[in-house]
Structure 1
Amino acid sequence: MANKKPTWLKMGMSLWVHGTKFKVIDCSNPKNTILETELGSRSAHNVVALFSSGHVKLTDAKQNDTLRIAELSVSSDELERANAIAKDFDNLPHEYGKLGLAMADLEAKYKVNRSTLARWKRDYLAEGVPGLFRQFEKKGGPGKKRLDPTTEAMIQADIKELYLVRTPKSIDETIRLIRSHFAAENIRPPSVGTIRNRIRALSENEVLKAQKGSTVARDQLHVSQDEHRASRPLQEVQIDHTPIDLQLLSSELRQLIGKAHITLIQDVYSRVILGLYIGLEHPSFLSVANALREAIFTKESVLAQFELSDDAWPTYGLMEMLHSDNAVEFDGRQMDHFCAVNRVEKQFRPIGHKEYGGHIESSIKAVVKHIHSLPGTTFSNIRERGDYDSEGNAQIDLQELRRIIYRWVVNNYNRKERDELGGLSPLQMWQKALDEGWHPRMPTSYDDFRFSLLPYEERRITRHGISLLGFKYSAPCLRHWRAREKPRERKKYRIYYDPLDMRRADFVHPDGSGVSKIALISLSSEGPISLVELKSAKIRSSRYPEATPDLHLAHQEEKTILQEAAKKNKKARKILEQRADSKSRAQADGSHKGNGFGSGIDYSRLPDWANTVDES
C-alpha cells in the first residue's frame, strides 16, 4: 500500500525536497518519479518514501504565514482538520474492543459513518496526511462524476466498443462485460448503477447514429422547419414512389403475381394529391409521365372509371416547381425535356435527407397505412407482419387495388380537415385559392405537351428507313427528307415513341413544319403492342430461327407459352398481367384525342380561360 500512487501527486505540481523546489515531470511510477529543478536538471525519486519520512513537503517551509496548497485547493482550515484526524488515528488503541469504541467516538465527532471513517484511515495509512485531503474534493451533484479520470475513460471506451456499434450488446450485457474487463485488469469494478447511469446519459441522437446510422437518426429526430413554403397552389409540387405492401392476384387466374408500385404527386400549398399512378412495373419515367399527365389535366375519365362524382377531384394545371429525390427517372434527359417544354423548374432534395420531402413522405405513409388494412398486406417488415399469411389471404387484383386507392384518395385523403391548413381540407384550400382569383396554368399546345411526356431518340435516316431501339420503321415521308440531305452529311432526326404502343412512332420535321407517323416493319398486329412485348418477341425470334419473322406472330407464340406457364409460375402471371394492363391503357388512350401514351386530354371540359394560350 505504501507504493500506491498518492492522490495529491500530479503532473506539473511543485514539491520541496530537502528545501529545494522541484517540478513533477512524470509521476506514473511513484517509486521512480521524475523531478526537475528550476535550473532544468532532472532526477528520479521515490516520492512516497520521501514524503513518509518527512523529506518532501508540498509548500515551502519558509512560508509559515500561509498553509494554502494551490495544487490541491486545500485551505488552512481543511489542513487543520486533516491534521486533527491524523492525530486521532495515531492515538487509536490497538485492542479490538477498545478500537471499536474509539472508532464509534470518531464517527460521532466527525459526523460520518463507519465505512467513510475506515476509508479515511486506509487513505491515511497509505499516503499520510495528503491522503485525507481527498475528503475535501467537491464531488457528486447533478452532472458531476466521482470516478477518477482513468476509470471514467475505461468505462467510456468500453461503452463505445460494446454499446455504440451497429450490433450492440444489451445494456445488461454491456454492464457485465465492462465489470469483467475491470476485474481482468485487477482494478476495482465500478458499480452496476454507475455504468448504467453512464449509458443513460448518452443522447438519443448519439445512440441512434452509432447503432442505426446517421440517416435513421436524422429521420427519427429531425424536427421539421417548414423548408417548403408555398403561397399558392402549384407553386411547388412534390413527387415520389413507393412499393405497395400488398400481394396481388392476377385478374383472370386469381393467382399470386406479387406487388405493385405507386407514384404520388402532391401540392405543397393545399396538400391535395394531384395525381397518382399504380403499376406492376418498377418505377421509371413511364410511371412519372402517367402520374404527371393525370395531375395536370382534368379527371373526368378517372372519375367515371371508378364511379365517382364529376366534381369529386377538381384539380388540374401545370406546376411551377417539381420537387423530387435524385432517382434516375427524375434526373434524366426525358424529365429535362418535359420541364423545358412546360416551363417547370426542377428541384432535388439533398441526398439522404427525406425530411426535405416531408409532405409527400407523409402522404405516402398515409397510403401505406391504409393498404396495411387490406387482405394480403405484407406490412412494412417481418416483425410487424408476425405470423400473418400474406399470400394465403391475398384477395385483390390490380384493378381492384386501383379502385380502392383512388376512391380513398378522392373521398378521404383530399377531404380530410387538417390542423396545419387551419381546419380546412386540401380540396377546400384549393377552392379557396380559386375564389381569391388564382387560376392554374395549362399547357399551350396539346401536341407539345404530349411529346414532352414521351421518350425520344435521335436517329439518322438510312435507305431501309429508321432503326429505333433495334426495330425498323418506315414511311414515305422519310424519302423526302433523305433526298434533301447532302452526301456524307447525314443528320439526326428526333423520333418520339409510345412505350405502350410501338406500332407507330412520331417523326419530327427538322424545319418545324409538323410531325409524321412512321410505322413498324414486320408487324401484322391490329392491337397495341408494348415495347416490353416487342423486345421479348424479338428475343424469341432470335433464339428460334425457324420461327416466323413476323414479330406479332412471335409475340403470340410467346403469349401462349406464358399462359401455360402462368398456371404454375408467379413471374409469368405478373408479366401477362402487366402486358394486359399496358394494352388496356393504350387502347383507352387511343380512344381520345391523339394516339397512345400521353393522350386522353379533353380541352372542351376546361373553363374558357384555361383554353387560352399562355404567352408569359
Structure 2
Amino acid sequence: MQYELPFDNKKTVYLDDIACKFLGVTNDEQVLLQNQESGATVIVGSQELVQKYLTGDLKLAVTVRHIGVHSNEHGAAVRADKMSPFGRFNSDRHIAYVTQLNERFATCGSRAMLQKAIDQIAHERGEQIPPHASTVYRWLGEYRADGISGLLSRIGNCGGANKSRLPAPVDAIVHQKIEETLDRSHVWTAEAILDSIRAEINIRNKFLTQHDRLTAPSIRTLQRRLASLPQFDVAVARYGIKEAERRFANHGVARRTKRILELVEIDHTPLDILIVDENGNVIGRPFLTLIIDRYSRAVLGFHLSLDGYGAHSVFSALRHALLPKTYLREGRFAELMLTWPCFGWFERLLMDNGREFHSHALTDALLNLGIVGEFAQSRQPNDKPFVERLLRTINYSFVHQLPGTTFAKYEQRQGVNSEKEAAFTLEELDMALHVWLLQKYHRRPHRGLRNKTPLELWNESAKAFPPKLKCDVDHVDFEFAERKESALQHYGIDLNTFRYTSTELMQLRRMLPANQKVEVKWPRRDVGYIFVWDPLDERPIKAFNTEPEFSGLSLEQAQAVRKRHAQDLPENRAIRASAGATINQMQDDARKAKRLKERKAGSRLAGMNSSSVRAPKRSPSRPGPVPSRQFQVEVDTGHSDDLDVFEMLELETEL
C-alpha cells in the first residue's frame, strides 16, 4: 500500500533550511527528497519527516515565503494584517468571485458562459463594471496554485513606496557621500552633505553631454534618506562602536533580588537648588548621597552636604541607612508624625567606580561590618538603574518645584533669578526631603513593583525577613572613620598636624617593636580623638588630641583655625581667642561676605550637612564612642545574636 504524505508533493519544502523536492515514497514508507542545491537524493522516514515538521525542522515553501525568508514569483510576501483598506477590499472581491464560481457554477463550458456567470455575481454584489473573464481566469489559476493566499491583493507591493526614484548614478553619489560623512564626522547636517553631492555632480557633468547631465536631489529627498538609515549605524558614527553596542545591547534584568536588604544601591548627585544661611545669604548648591533598596525601591538613608561628595558623605549616608530613624520622634520632626521603618544590615552594596567608593577606608569598613561591596560595570548606568532614576526624579519632581531652583538646563532658567528666589536653608531642605520621600515617594504605586508602593513591599518582605542590627552604634561610628597607617612615636601619634596620646597608647608602644606602624582610624567630624588598633589584644585604643581646645571641631574647621592663628602677630598670640571663638568669628565673616565663593567657604567651615542638623543627642553618661574589647560582626543572618525587630525597640529606647 502506497503511503500518502500530508504534504503537497508538488511544492518545495525546506529540510533543515535546505530546499528540497519530493521524488516519491518507497514501499517501506521511506520518503525520497532531492536537494535543490546539490542534486543529491535524501532518504527520510515518513514518520521522521512528520516529526521534523512538528519540531520546525521541516518548513513548507508557503510558510517560508510569508515570514520573509523566500519570495515567490509574485513578489514580496503578502499578509492580511498588513494590508491597506483598499487592498483588503480587493482581496475580499477576488475571494468572493472565485468561491461563488466554484460553488454555483461548477462548469462553464465557454468564455461566454463564464462571462455570463461573472455578470450575475457582479449584479448580486451591486457592481456596475464586472471583472473581465481573463482576469477571473487569472484569479482561478492563482487559487488553484496557492489556495486562498494566492487571491490576496498585492497592490501594496506595487509602486515606488520606500524605493529610490533617483537615477542610478545620482543614487550612487548620494550613498557614497553619506557613507563618507558618517565615517569622517560625528556631527553632520543634510545641507552639508547636499553641498558635497552637488560638487561631485558638477565635476561629473563636465564630461557629460547636455542630454546626459545629472541633477542633484532636493534637500527633502536627502533628509528622508538620512532618516531611513539604520539607527545602529548612525549611533556608531556619532558615538563609536563601544557606545553604540551599549545603547543597543539587550540588557535584560540584571542582579535579581528576592527580599529586602539583599542588595542596595548608592550614588551621588548635585541638587538643582541654591540654599541660604540663617541670614538669607546664598551659600551654594547641596550634594545628595542616596541609598535605595533594590527589591522594594524604598530609600534606606541619605546625606546632604555642601562640601561635595567623598568618603565622609558615603559614611554618613551608610550610617543613616543602617540605623533606625529614631530622631523622627523628637525635635523639629516630632510635629510631622513621619514613619520610616527602613533600616538594617544589608548583604551587598552596589556602587559606581568613583574614587570615594574605591577607598581602602570604605572597603575595609564594609568588610568589617559584614557587607559585600560590589561595583557596577563602567559606563553601564543600567547596572544600577533604580538609584540613578530616583536621583533624577528627586531633582525633576521635587527640587524643581522649590524656590531657588536652578533647573537642569540653561534654557529653563530664562526669566528666573535663582539667587533672589532662594529661600531654603539646609535644615529646611533636609526636612522637606524627608516629607517628600516618606509621604509621597514611599506611598506612590510603582509599576515595576506590581502597582504596589515601596512601603507596602518593604513591610511585606520585612515580615518574612526582619531587618537586623549586627552591632551597636559605637562600633558603627568606629568603622565609618577615615583609616591611615602612622608611626607610633615616643610622644604618640602625628596626624593631620595634631598629636594624639593616651596612657593605653604609651603602654602599647612598650610592647611593640621599634619603628612599628599602627592602624589609625580618625573621625573627620571631630579632631579631638582618634582610635589606634591594638594588634596584640585586637581592639581599638582611644587617644586624645594634646590641644583640647580643638575638640568638637571638624578637620576643615581645625585647619582653618590653624591657618588663622598662623597669621596672627607675635604680640597677639598670647591673648588670642580660643579655637571655638575663632571658628565662630570666621564663620560670621564668611557669611557676611559679598562674594558667593566666600559664603560657600563659610558654610563648609560651619560643617553644614544633614547629619549635623538631625544628629540625636547622646546621653550625658555616654560622652563618646568607646568600642568594646571584642569587635566582631557575624555575617550569617540566622545566628541568634542578631537583633530582630522586637529587640530593636529596646535598642531604640537606649539611643
**TM-score using structure 2 length:** 0.64
Amino acid at match of 2:530: A
Alignment of 1:514-593 (within 5 A): 514-525=539-550, 528-544=552-568, 546=570, 548=573, 553=578, 556-557=581-582, 559-567=584-592, 568-582=594-608, 585=611, 589=615, 591-592=617-618
Provide structure 1 residue ranges, at least 5 long, that are not aligned to the other structure.
1-138
Could you say if the C-alpha distance between residues 254 and 160 of structure 1 is closer, same or farther in structure 2, counting changes exceeding 3 Å? farther
Contact map agreement 2:327 2:615 (CA 8 A) in 1: no
C-alpha distance in structure 2 between counterparts of 1:418 and 1:543, whole Å: 58
Could you say if the C-alpha distance between residues 576 and 565 of structure 1 is closer, same or farther in structure 2, counting changes exceeding 3 Å? closer
Identity of aligned residues (%): 23
Are 1:379 and 2:418 counterparts? no
Contact map agreement 1:500 1:583 (CA 8 A) in 2: no
1:311-335 deviation digits (Å, cap 9, x = unpaired): 7111111111111110011111012
Q: 1:552, CA displacement in angstroms?
A: 7.5
Contact map agreement 1:562 1:576 (CA 8 A) in 2: yes
Could you say if the C-alpha distance between residues 562 and 156 of structure 1 is closer, same or farther in structure 2, counting changes exceeding 3 Å? farther
Could you say if the C-alpha distance between residues 320 and 513 of structure 1 is closer, same or farther in structure 2, counting changes exceeding 3 Å? closer
1:389 maps to which residue? 417
2:633 maps to which residue? none
Q: 1:506, CA displacement in angstroms?
A: 2.0
C-alpha distance in structure 1 between counterparts of 2:404 and 2:614, whole Å: 29
1:473 maps to which residue? 500
Are 1:319 and 2:346 counterparts? yes
Please give the secondary structure, in 1, of the residue aligned with 2:543.
Answer: strand
2:468 maps to which residue? 441
- Tell me which of 174, 177, 188 is aligned to 1:155: 174
C-alpha distance in structure 1 between counterparts of 2:625 and 2:417, whole Å: 38
C-alpha distance in structure 1 between counterparts of 2:493 and 2:576, whole Å: 17
Contact map agreement 1:528 1:586 (CA 8 A) in 2: no
Are 1:362 and 2:389 counterparts? yes
C-alpha distance in structure 1 between counterparts of 2:542 and 2:381, whole Å: 43
Contact map agreement 1:451 1:496 (CA 8 A) in 2: yes
1:14 maps to which residue? none
Q: 1:387, CA displacement in angstroms?
A: 3.2
Alignment of 1:6-85 (within 5 A): none
2:217 maps to which residue? 191
C-alpha distance in structure 2 between counterparts of 1:330 and 1:583, whole Å: 20
Q: 1:497, CA displacement in angstroms?
A: 1.4
Q: 1:549, CA displacement in angstroms?
A: 8.7
1:56-83 deviation digits (Å, cap 9, x = unpaired): xxxxxxxxxxxxxxxxxxxxxxxxxxxx
C-alpha distance in structure 2 between counterparts of 1:141 and 1:532, whole Å: 73
C-alpha distance in structure 1 between counterparts of 2:184 and 2:288, whole Å: 35
C-alpha distance in structure 1 between counterparts of 2:268 and 2:624, whole Å: 24
Q: 1:363, CA displacement in angstroms?
A: 0.8
Q: 1:383, CA displacement in angstroms?
A: 2.2
Query: How many residue pairs are counted as aligned between the two chains?
Result: 467
2:646 maps to which residue? 607
Q: 1:477, CA displacement in angstroms?
A: 2.1
- Tell me which of 454, 459, 466 is aligned to 1:431: 459
Amino acid at match of 2:442: N
- Tell me which of 263, 285, 302 is aligned to 2:311: 285
- Tell me which of 520, 528, 533 is aligned to 1:503: 528
C-alpha distance in structure 2 between counterparts of 1:239 and 1:215, whole Å: 26
Q: 1:576, CA displacement in angstroms?
A: 2.5
Could you say if the C-alpha distance between residues 549 and 506 of structure 1 is closer, same or farther in structure 2, counting changes exceeding 3 Å? farther
Contact map agreement 1:590 1:596 (CA 8 A) in 2: no
Could you say if the C-alpha distance between residues 166 and 244 of structure 1 is closer, same or farther in structure 2, counting changes exceeding 3 Å? farther
Amino acid at match of 2:446: R
C-alpha distance in structure 2 between counterparts of 1:551 and 1:331, whole Å: 42
Moved more, 197-206 or 459-468: 197-206
Amino acid at match of 2:597: K
1:273-314 deviation digits (Å, cap 9, x = unpaired): 111111111111111111111111111114544346667111
1:22-66 deviation digits (Å, cap 9, x = unpaired): xxxxxxxxxxxxxxxxxxxxxxxxxxxxxxxxxxxxxxxxxxxxx
Contact map agreement 1:375 1:393 (CA 8 A) in 2: yes
1:342-379 deviation digits (Å, cap 9, x = unpaired): 22122111111111111111111110111111111111
Contact map agreement 1:248 1:376 (CA 8 A) in 2: yes
Are 1:414 and 2:442 counterparts? yes
Contact map agreement 1:267 1:273 (CA 8 A) in 2: yes
Contact map agreement 1:164 1:211 (CA 8 A) in 2: no
Please give the secondary structure, in 2, of the residue aligned with 1:191.
Answer: coil
1:344 maps to which residue? 371
Amino acid at match of 1:502: V
Could you say if the C-alpha distance between residues 182 and 583 of structure 1 is closer, same or farther in structure 2, counting changes exceeding 3 Å? closer
